[in-house]
Structure 1
Amino acid sequence: MSLLLISCVFTFRSSVSFLTCHSCLFHFFMQSWLFFFISLCRVGNSGYALYKYAYGPYTLMLSISTMGLPLAVSKFVSKYNGMGNYRAGQDLLKFGLYLMIFTGMLSSIILYSFAPFLAEMVISKHDSTGNKLEDVIYVIRLVSFALLIVPPMSLLRGYFQGNQSMGPSALSTILEQVVRVIFIVLGAYIVIRFGHSVTEAVGIGTFGAFVGAIAGLGFLTFIYHKRRILIKKQVTDSDSNQRIKPLPMFKELISYAIPFVLVGLAIPIYQNIDTFTINVLFQSIGYKQDQAESINSVIGLAQILVMVPVSLATAFGMSLLPGITSSYVKGNLKEVKEKMNKTFQILMFFTLPAAIGLCLLGKPIYIMIFGMNNSPVLGGVILQWYAPMAILFALFTVTASILQGINQQKKVIIGMFLGIVIKLILNFLLLTNFKEIGPVLATYGGYTVSVLYNFYLIKKAINYKLFPLVRALALPVSLVIVMSLVVLIANYLVTNYLAAKLSMYHLAITTSLFCVSMGGIVYIGMGLKTKALREVLVRRKNA
């Protein structure tokens, strides 16, 4: 339930903040609380693996079909409105919607048509112990319908944000997810009440994306229709009504959009590498289909938990990025470096305790969130190994954004693809020796290369030195060490005094809640006494 609440908070925040609205993070949150409701049907590891097979390629196709245009549209509209040319925004909306409808239809047809091919990549025809081929095809084709609606809806959100009207975008996002959840809850009830199959339960979860998108698009269309007279008057009264031809318009848009979409694709690509290689790799060393799917599912669930603190941390850390861009444009590199150090310090204030906390309490937290029916022992171990990845996820997102802010966006793409290649290679090389942990370590390898490359580019571009950063991070590291000691002591006390009195599930809940509370109180209590954290909280409050 806590995952759901945090997801709702971030969904609203991502809608009203231009710089924190990264599609890859947004989809992980949607995935996390969709799983919460799908789990009402007790679909287990095989059901969640089935959901991953559909949602992974859908996320990639959505990113490609929208081409990063929602963020680019927001930037384009804001730019030309500032120049007094409101007609440019209207022309963009018209031609952009045509483009989004076309790319949405094309991507939907491609995903629907390639469903059998994608299914054959993860399901063995000679092993009937896991999901069936036709089940995977079914859920992929169901989710493909959402691609008809989401791209034009996303473009409309970008248009409203570009006009500094954040309300419609935020409210449409909330409405979309509320309708989506209601649809899934009702569907889950039907599945439980009338004894339908796991495949149908997962199908409800995937088709919910289409139903929620219709609600979101309908709301945005309604708001635009209500404002059409005001918009028309605004265009008529504008200082400059110069029309921009479609070709130059899209050329400018694409120049804005490509860095956004490629960097945003990083996490979905890593996720899909695991989704579509793990089954084959583990079956090649003797695992059955259902065993490989269980590992596939558990890694996905661990990733969901890790992405929650990452997204919240980057939302805080990236609140300082507009100031970095502004200082860079003015040529004040000293101020740029100071703001960067502050950004990384704030990022670590939030990411480090979450990553280390999940690492120390991986087993009880995994059991508390996902129950006893989703490989609790394996899940706890993988979560403990995966948790520190939160630091690399957050660093990659922020360093990539900093590079975009200092006009180095094209070079970010090289680092991202270097990391992806390393990830692919290590997925094969580490399998024999590390088994279930191999894909996790491969992700570490890929992201480490990308993050180091990003830091190299930053250092080269502005002569950035790492020593002041290391010194700035000494404080959050010290706080995390104290917090970790408190968590370990609390865990020891609860385990020793209550292990014989409670079931494994209830012990996990008690341990998680007590240890997280104690660690949180100590960390936040000490953190609030530090100048850096007080500054960022005041800045966010006044923003």
Structure 2
Amino acid sequence: MSNNMPKVKTKQTNKQNNRSQETLVAGSAWMSGSSIVSRLLGALYIIPWMALMGDNTTASAANALMNIGYTPYALFLNIATAGVPSSISKQVSYYNSIGEYSTGKKIYKKGLQVMGLTGIISAILMYVLAPLLASASPAASIAEGTQVIRSLTPALLIIPMMSVTRGYIQGHNTMAPSAISQVLEQFVRVGFMILSVFLIRIILGSSVVNAVSLSTFGAFIGALASSLYLGYVVWSRKNEFQHEVVYKEKQQDIKTNVILISIVKTAIPFVFIGSGITLSQLIDQYTYGPVMSRITTWTPGEIQVFYGVAAANAHKLIMIVLSLGSAMAVTSVPLMSSLVAEKNLQGVGKQFSNSIQLLFLVLFPSSLGMLVLASPLYTLFYEFNVFGTEMTRVSSIMTLFLGLYTVLGSNLLAANMIRSAIKALLIGLLVKLIVQIPLFAIFGTSGMIYANMIGFGLSSYLMMRAMYAKTYYDYKKLGKRLMAIGALSTIMTCTVWGTKSLLSLFINPVSRSGSVLIIIIATIVGISVYGYLILKTRLADHVTGNSAEKIRSRLRIQ
């Protein structure tokens, strides 16, 4: 520990750190729960959706076509929101912590105006550039790719403003409304997708591309429902926010143009870091086709299908687990910002370490569990496929690197370590780009996944090193905790593997019904074993605080 850091914690600092830890756990529980439900809906819909689309070959091509539309859409969405939601959350939390509640309201109103404009600009750009984006993608038809990409432009008009409202609410360290809105958005979107493909394919007997286009338009319908709910939340809590303004201790007159500049300056780093995974996916999307056409004898249609399996099918499954990292990243931003406002450097380091520990406490066993259950998982959502199973297994390990990058990037930005975060991402993407083609040649499709692990692994290491240089967090304690989590996760993984192997002797593992039974039973066994181990060893207490003690008491675990 550096001499620059205080050696003795005051009681006040201890209370602040404990409060931050409890807030992080509670907020992460809300956001993680909603993210898991949302991702499950986003993955489960594929079963009826592909069944209604047609035979397996047709359905796989449709799924790949939809993913080709969603990848550039995700980038334009990041540009449209420009990192403003996280910026809003960070700034509202900052000003609230120093008693400037009215300034937080000004920031919210100005953010809505800015996002309305950037949403329009981004929607126009994506619509105009759709043919160019489709021609460079693995789409078998440029016209079909263009139609699908353009069907997503309406969502860009509304989602940015919706995200600002989420950021404003999160800035008050209130995660429940945002969590509920995410589930509502996904539920409405999925319902619309299934209804639309049933109408287009079954009732009208129209083309696949029309069914996919109307399905992707569901992003707008879901966002509209979520926006209406969030608007009601802000309206219903206006008296609560007004109470904050009345009883504040101090107020400064901050001009509108100053607020606008502050939002933009804070937002730019968030959009870049938030686009990191999307940028890596774009590298995959625009290198996969050209490389595979040279090193294989696959037809354009086969390239589209194989790309869909790796980048769409397997990715949907790992996003269920990866959503945990995203949820914790969202929760940690206002907490870290508050600690920075209080100039609690020691608290920043502790919060950083807690975020990593909490992430791995959940993400590590989840990733290993998905690795073991890759075959029944892929069979359940799609159908038994050796290539799909292989892609899911490799991708499940990749979630550790992507999840860590997501949390670390948000933490560094919230701690105003902007240059370190951007530099780490740029180096990681550059290394990925360099090793991508050689890894394609060696490992085939898996090469782009291995390249992601190398790139984001390097970015994460650089971010952790940068934070240590500023806060001197206790990396030895962090390392011991992560090793303990890894050891208990390994025991759980062996148990899940044994359970799956035993069940496969009596249950057909390549059928959907058999896969469901294997997944349910093995998951229950894995959660029970891991939950008991982290409670029994008191590992959960160190990471989650009083929450684990309460659970252990109820379960009567000594």
Normalising by the smaller structure, the TM-score range is: 0.7 to 0.9
Q: 1:248 to 1:342 in 2, by over 3 A?
A: closer
Distance 2:199 2:112 in 1: 36
SS of the equivalent of 1:196 reads: coil
The one-letter code sitting in structure 2 at the alignment partner of 1:298 is V
User: Which of 494, 509, 514 matches 2:503?
Assistant: 494
Which residues in structure 2 correspond to 1:126-525 (within 5 Å)? 131-162=140-171, 169-194=178-203, 195-221=205-231, 243-285=253-295, 286-300=297-311, 301-312=313-324, 315=327, 340-372=352-384, 376-464=385-473, 466-498=475-507, 504-525=511-532
Q: 1:252 to 1:511 in 2, by over 3 A?
A: same
Which string of whole-angstrom CA distances, capped at 9 and with x for unpartnered residues, describes residues 482-535 of structure 1?
223223322332333445xx7544443343333333333222222221213145
Distance 1:414 1:120 in 2: 31
Q: CA deviation at 1:351?
A: 1.8
The one-letter code sitting in structure 1 at the alignment partner of 2:271 is V
Query: Does 2:124 align with 1:104?
Result: no
Q: CA deviation at 1:188?
A: 2.8
The one-letter code sitting in structure 1 at the alignment partner of 2:383 is G
Which range moves more in the overlay, 466-475 or 104-113? 466-475
The one-letter code sitting in structure 2 at the alignment partner of 1:425 is I
Q: 1:89 to 1:495 in 2, by over 3 A?
A: closer
The one-letter code sitting in structure 1 at the alignment partner of 2:494 is L
Q: CA deviation at 1:383?
A: 1.2
Distance 2:373 2:149 in 1: 34
Gaps of 5+ in 2: 1-23, 551-558
Q: 1:476 to 1:160 in 2, by over 3 A?
A: closer
Which of structures 1 and 2 has the larger relative contact order (alpha carbons within 8 angstroms, sep 6+)?
2
Which range moves more in the overlay, 130-139 or 157-166? 157-166
Aligned 8 A contact 1:368 1:509 in 2: yes
SS of the equivalent of 2:416 reads: coil
The one-letter code sitting in structure 2 at the alignment partner of 1:452 is Y
Which range moves more in the overlay, 312-321 or 103-112? 312-321
User: TM-score normalized by structure 1?
Assistant: 0.83
What's the counterpart of residue 5 of structure 1? none
Q: CA deviation at 1:406?
A: 4.0
Which string of whole-angstrom CA distances, capped at 9 and with x for unpartnered residues, describes residues 248-304 of structure 1?
112211233233222211112122222232122211223211221122111122222
What's the counterpart of residue 52 of structure 2? 41
Which string of whole-angstrom CA distances, capped at 9 and with x for unpartnered residues, describes residues 67-90 of structure 1?
111222233344445666555445
Which string of whole-angstrom CA distances, capped at 9 and with x for unpartnered residues, describes residues 207-229 of structure 1?
01112222233344456567779
Distance 2:368 2:540 in 1: 19
What's the counterpart of residue 3 of structure 1? none
What's the counterpart of residue 68 of structure 2? 53
Q: 1:32 to 1:272 in 2, by over 3 A?
A: farther
Aligned 8 A contact 1:310 1:390 in 2: yes
Percent sequence identity over matched residues?
28
Q: 1:108 to 1:15 in 2, by over 3 A?
A: farther
Gaps of 5+ in 1: 1-12, 124-129
Aligned 8 A contact 1:356 1:387 in 2: yes
Q: 1:131 to 1:329 in 2, by over 3 A?
A: same
Distance 1:258 1:246 in 2: 19
Aligned 8 A contact 2:94 2:341 in 1: no
Q: CA deviation at 1:137?
A: 0.7
SS of the equivalent of 1:371 reads: coil
Q: 1:308 to 1:147 in 2, by over 3 A?
A: same
Distance 2:330 2:500 in 1: 33
Q: CA deviation at 1:154?
A: 1.9
Which string of whole-angstrom CA distances, capped at 9 and with x for unpartnered residues, describes residues 449-504 of structure 1?
211211221232234564433322232222122223223322332333445xx754
Distance 1:342 1:480 in 2: 18
Q: 1:466 to 1:145 in 2, by over 3 A?
A: same
Distance 2:543 2:424 in 1: 30
The one-letter code sitting in structure 1 at the alignment partner of 2:294 is S
Distance 1:456 1:370 in 2: 41
Which string of whole-angstrom CA distances, capped at 9 and with x for unpartnered residues, describes residues 107-159 of structure 1?
00000000000010025xxxxxx732211111100101111111122223333
Which string of whole-angstrom CA distances, capped at 9 and with x for unpartnered residues, describes residues 391-419 of structure 1?
21222123223333543232111111111
User: TM-score normalized by structure 2?
Assistant: 0.81
Query: Does 2:102 align with 1:95?
Result: no
Which range moves more in the overlay, 215-224 or 431-440? 215-224
Distance 1:158 1:464 in 2: 28
Q: 1:539 to 1:299 in 2, by over 3 A?
A: farther
Which string of whole-angstrom CA distances, capped at 9 and with x for unpartnered residues, describes residues 151-210 of structure 1?
122223333444666665455444433332332232132134323322122112210111
SS of the equivalent of 2:254 reads: coil
Distance 1:338 1:245 in 2: 35
Which range moves more in the overlay, 239-248 or 430-439? 239-248
Q: 1:172 to 1:271 in 2, by over 3 A?
A: same
Aligned 8 A contact 1:423 1:443 in 2: yes
Q: CA RMSD in A?
A: 3.7
Aligned 8 A contact 1:38 1:202 in 2: no
Q: CA deviation at 1:103?
A: 0.9
